[in-house]
Amino acid sequence: MFISDLSKIEKTGLEGESLKNVTKQVLVGPKQGWDSHVMRVFTVGKNGYTPKHSHSWPHINYIIGGEGTLFVDGEEYPVKAGGTAFVPGGSEHQFRQKGEEDFTFICIVPKEGDV
């Protein structure tokens, strides 16, 4: 069993040319007992974005806070707190922060997707 709180889970700042102002927290994954998948929280700060990329596994997303856009296969969709999204494997995708507050979302992937 694993029980914790988001405020107690380590934040890792992600760096690279293809992303900006992004942190990641692993909520539940193999280390916590879920051997097949990983549930993460990403926080995208002011004017931030995740990499535009694709891979074979899907993403399951739930928007916790703020607002942003989700780019999928050439189309951009507005997303905000309370929204959900399923991004199929093989789809090119990217999240971008919009508005004044941090854009925060849950992202669940198979364990091979947590790179």
Three-state SS at 55: coil
Is residue 37 domain-resident?
yes
Q: Amino acid letter at 14?
A: L
* Structural domain count, the chain: 1
Residue indicated by tokens 């029980």: 3
At position 108, the amino acid (one-letter code) is: I
Q: Distance between CA 103 and CA 21 in Å, rounded?
A: 10
Q: What is the mean pLDDT of residues 57-78?
A: 97
Q: Is residue 81 a part of any domain in this protein? A: yes
Alpha-carbon gap, residue 87 to 108, rounded angstroms: 10
- State the average pLDDT over residues 61-88: 98
- Is 58 a member of any domain? yes
Residue 1 lies in a domain: no
What pLDDT score does 79 carry?
Answer: 98
Average pLDDT over residues 51-65: 97
**Domain hosting residue 78, numbered range:** 6-113
* pLDDT classification of 72: cutoffs 50, 70, 90: very high
- pLDDT category, 115, cuts 50, 70, 90? confident
pLDDT score recorded for residue 29: 97
